[in-house]
Structure 1
Amino acid sequence: MSDTDRPTTTVLLLGGGDTGPELALAFERLGVAVVRVADCADAQAMTALLDEHQPDYVIAVSAEVSPAALIAAAERDSVEVFPTPRATRLGADREGLRKLAGDELGLPTVPFWFASSSEELAAVADHAGFPLVVTPLFGAVSDGQSVLTRADDVDAAWRRAAAALPTPQNRVMAETVVEVDEEITLLTVRTTEPSGPAVQFCEPIGFRRKDGDLLSTWQPERLSLAALDAARSIAARIVHSLGGRGVFAVELLVRGDEVYFATVDAQLGDVGLITLRSQRLSHYELHARAILGLSMDTIMISPSAAEVGPRRDVSAGELKEALDVPESDVRVVGSTVAAIATAPDVVRARDRAHRASTVVHGLGS
């Protein structure tokens, strides 16, 4: 291909998972050439990919992408990398992220401590009291998280967390359990304008996970004006600290007008699937436009709800039954299937999504 035939913009998407195909489609609809690579293990492999494809942007679409590879890409003046290597590193390090939020930025968080042994965890529990949530610092939360309700739980919680860690660096985070009204995700879009960095917010998304597999989510989650202002302030401060452009999923705990920072993910996740129906632009489209520096909006067009679970074979009869639910939709995204529904209000949207989900996720009697 000659230089005159080469597309003006090329994006290199790194990593497997469910996000890649949908995000690639969002870029391609904007006339961008997309190269997808499932794995890039180190800086040497990244150098070869950059030389071969000469991308304008390198975008990690899964947490498994090597930070060393992203750093190597970021060292080239002609390439922009998203998320930033800093955001990628902190996204995989719960201790670093919590210290950034609580200690450096002064964001409100639930009380937290760190422990490097069962004995240290027992000392934390003796100081903080019960209940406590214990989470491994790396790896999947669902694999290693426990709730301590008494001293006898400490050893088992330590072993569970240590077994879930991908490396032998045994270290955990312990948090006080705070009674909250809701857990929400605030999708926050960071852009760079001529006047400087700017953020836009989607309507708050409420969510609950059931048995670690099925996700129930809805938009909007109604907050008081004070809580909404606090949520937006917290989200803006954490994403500005991480830097870069794109969609950040900021998880927050809400109790009345009080809002606590929980975590932030610079990777697109399953909570955002609801935006396929709830918003004019989905989180995939927002991510692509933000990275490319294009105009966008975060307008919600309808209250919506979704239930997202592992993909299974859905028969033609089941699909028909699910889609017979008013304003329902079924979306297969990689290894997941989402039953999504809209309605004039969230209550009816959640009911419709649940009825469709019962069919497509095989939950009926």
Structure 2
Amino acid sequence: MLPPGSTVGIVGGGQLGRMMAIAAARLGYRCHIYDPHDAPCAVAVSGSFTRGEFTDQQRIAEFAALCDVVTYEFENVPVGPLAALGAKLLPGTRSLEVAQDRALEKEFLESTGARVAPWRRVESVADAGAAEEEIGLPLVLKTRRFGYDGKGQSWARSQGGARQAYEAIGRQPAVAESGIAFEAEFSVIVARGQDGAVRSFDPPRNIHDGGILRRSIVPGGPLVAGQAEEAKRIAGAIVAALGHVGVLTVEFFATADGPLVNEFAPRVHNSGHWTIEGAKTSQFEQHIRAICGLPLGDPGLVDGSVEMENLIGADVERWPELIAEQGAAVHLYDKGEVRPGRKMGHVTRVGAGAAFTDR
């Protein structure tokens, strides 16, 4: 158990690292950010900053020597330089290795007993055509690495479309997945402590637009509630199989046959931002508790309902009216340049009938 005053190193200086650092400070920890950019937004709320490339093993080792524990805010960082940190890195590199490769991720998920969409590896135009024959249409091709928020994906909806989709993603190694009929998207944010204890938050129903999360709502309605316990069981099996310490997020489709796993992220997640005001322990505090060896906190709701709305691109220009809105908790990430599709902040509303109603 790390005492207050210890230093938590965070690889990555974006908004997730920023909110993690704020949570760590409340518990008396100091944070040290490692990032290749000049002024990442997490630095403004942290005590120390080391600028360096994620591929620079020597620089990362020097940074880690100044920390008592090291974690990461996103999964698209090279495993090799972090592997050298050994037990100081939490979660460990196993979680990164699996999450970084969609084919390995699918195989791993199936090994835990989780249901996933029918899929196959694609490494050539011929593979893409074979996938179309085996899986049927519609299907989606996803690059095996570096895809997020809808990037690195292309759909095939008509005959011969899989080959075209493979061209659209630049002929990169990929997986082909069957298009799934689903009623809702939701996620389970789960934490596993160093002692093996597991706690899950209530699953939010997630509303996307253009592959980017727009809103998360808890409770997520009767459909999500009916699949929540099974989804939590699956999430618990995933963190246990990985030996994961910290927060991990599993994204699900609610289908007629029960919860089906889309993917997982070995970290805190956008769909868990509502927990800052909406839960008794936020996902960020829970992650810090886990990696520092503290007892996990209570993930229960503070009120009957909560909704989180992302501020994407020019949405952030609404900040004056949002700040004036009574009961709205506004989080601005101080990321500088406003760009289409860029997550600039979020606003959370607790209570006031925010719960999702199935229609």
Q: TM-score, normalised by structure 2?
A: 0.83
Map Cα deviations across residues 124-156 of structure 1 (whole Å, 9 max, x no partner).
101221111211111124222122111232232
Is 1:80 paired with 2:92? Answer: no
Check conservation: 1:311, 1:332, Cα contact below 8 A: no
Letter matched to residue 88 of structure 1: L
The amino acid of 2:333's aligned partner reads V
Q: Kindly state the Cα deviation for residue 264 of structure 1 after the two structures are TM-superposed.
A: 1.1
Q: Give unpaired runs (5+ residues) of structure 1.
A: 1-5, 164-169, 350-365
- The residue that corresponds to 1:68 in the other structure is 80
User: 3-state DSSP class of the match of 2:75?
Assistant: coil
Q: Which has the larger radius of gyration?
A: 1
Compute the displacement of 1:312 (Å).
Answer: 4.3
Distance 1:111 1:84, change over 3 A: same
The aligned residue for residue 174 of structure 1 is 176
Deviations 1:28-52 (A, max 9, x none): 221122221214423322332234x
Amino acid at match of 2:137: F
CA distance in 2, matches of 1:285, 1:114: 38
The residue that corresponds to 1:109 in the other structure is 116
Contact 1:42 1:68 in 2 (8 A): no
Whether the 8 Å CA contact 2:186–2:251 is kept in 1: the answer is yes
Q: Tell me whether 1:58 sits opposite 2:79 in the alignment.
A: no
Structure 2 match to 1:188: 190
Distance of aligned partners of 1:7 and 1:181 in 2 relative to their CA distance in 1, 3 Å threshold = closer
Q: Tell me, yes or no, if the aligned pair for 1:16 and 1:62 is still in contact at 8 Å.
A: no
Q: 1:267 is paired with a residue of what secondary structure?
A: coil
- Checking the alignment, whether the CA contact within 8 Å between 1:311 and 1:337 is kept in structure 2 is no
**Aligned equivalents of 2:334, 2:313: Cα separation in 1:** 8
- Deviation at residue 82 of structure 1 after TM alignment: 1.7
Instruction: For residue 187 of structure 2, give the secondary structure of its aligned residue in structure 1.
Output: strand
Q: Which amino acid aligns with 1:154?
A: A
2-structure distance, mates of 1:280, 1:311: 30
Q: C-alpha distance in 2, partners of 1:158/1:91?
A: 21
* Distance (whole Å) between structure 2 residues aligned to residue 212 and residue 179 of structure 1: 16
What's the offset of the Cα at 1:311?
4.8
Partner of 1:33: 30
1:98 and 2:106 aligned: yes
In the alignment, structure 1 residue 263 sits paired with structure 2 residue 263: yes
Measure, in 2, the Cα distance between the counterparts of 1:348 and 1:152. 39
2:300 partner amino acid? I
Q: Deviations over 1:311-349 (max 9, x none)?
A: 54856xx44433454522321135422122222433489
Does the CA-based 8 Å contact 1:204-1:222 persist in structure 2? no
* Residue 12 (1) aligns with residue 9 (2): yes
Q: Is the 8 A contact 1:122 1:151 kept in 2?
A: no
Select the residue among 63, 83, 91 that pairs with 1:49.
63
Is residue 191–residue 290 contact of structure 1 (8 Å, CA) maintained in 2?
yes
Quote the residue 1:301 is aligned against.
302
Checking the alignment, whether the CA contact within 8 Å between 2:75 and 2:265 is kept in structure 1 is no
Q: How far is 1:62 from its partner?
A: 2.5
- How many residue pairs get aligned? The number is 327
Taking the aligned partners of 2:351 and 2:138, their CA distance within structure 1 comes to 39
8 Å Cα contact 1:113/1:124 also seen in 2: yes
Amino acid at match of 2:152: G
Distance 1:80 1:10, change over 3 A: same
Name stretches of at least 5 consecutive residues in structure 2 with no aligned partner.
36-51, 336-343
Check whether the contact 2:123–2:173 (CA below 8 A) recurs between aligned residues: yes
Q: Is the 8 A contact 1:307 1:340 kept in 2?
A: yes
CA distances 1:266-319 after superposition (whole Å, capped 9, x unpaired): 12222111212211222111111121222311011121112213354856xx44
Alpha carbons of structure 1 residues 215 and 314: separation in structure 2 relative to 1, 3 Å: closer
**Residue 338 (structure 1) aligns with:** 346
Q: Cα 1:348–1:128, aligned 2, differ >3 Å: closer, same or farther?
A: closer
> Partner letter of residue 204 of structure 2?
I
Structure holding more helix per residue: 1
Question: Do the aligned partners of residues 274 and 126 (structure 1) sit closer, same or farther apart at CA in structure 2, a change above 3 Å counting?
Answer: same
1:158 aligns with 2:166: yes
Aligned to 2:136: 129
CA RMSD of aligned residues (A): 2.5
Look up the SS of the partner of 1:143 in the other structure: coil
Q: Give the whole-Å Cα distance in 2 for the aligned partners of 1:309 and 1:50.
A: 33
Distance 2:190 2:64 in 1: 29
Give, as a single letter, the amino acid of the residue that structure 2 aligns with 1:26. A
Q: Distance in 2 between matches of 1:190 and 1:231?
A: 16
User: Where do residues 135-284 of structure 1 align in structure 2 (5 Å cutoff)?
Assistant: 135-141=142-148, 142-162=150-170, 170-193=172-195, 197-213=196-212, 215-223=214-222, 227-256=227-256, 258-284=258-284
Letter in 1 for 2:113: G
The list of structure 1 runs, each at least 4 consecutive aligned residues, that deviate by more than 6 angstroms after superposition, is none
SS of the residue 1:221 aligns to: coil
Equivalent pair of 1:227/1:254 in contact (CA under 8 Å): yes
TM-score by length of 1: 0.82
2:85 is paired with a residue whose SS is helix
Q: Does the CA contact (< 8 Å) of 1:42 and 1:66 recur in 2?
A: no
The alpha-carbon distance between structure 1 residues 306 and 233, as it changes in their structure 2 partners (threshold 3 A), is same
Aligned AA for 1:276?
I
- The 8 Å contact of residues 8 and 71 in structure 2, kept in 1 or not, is answered as yes
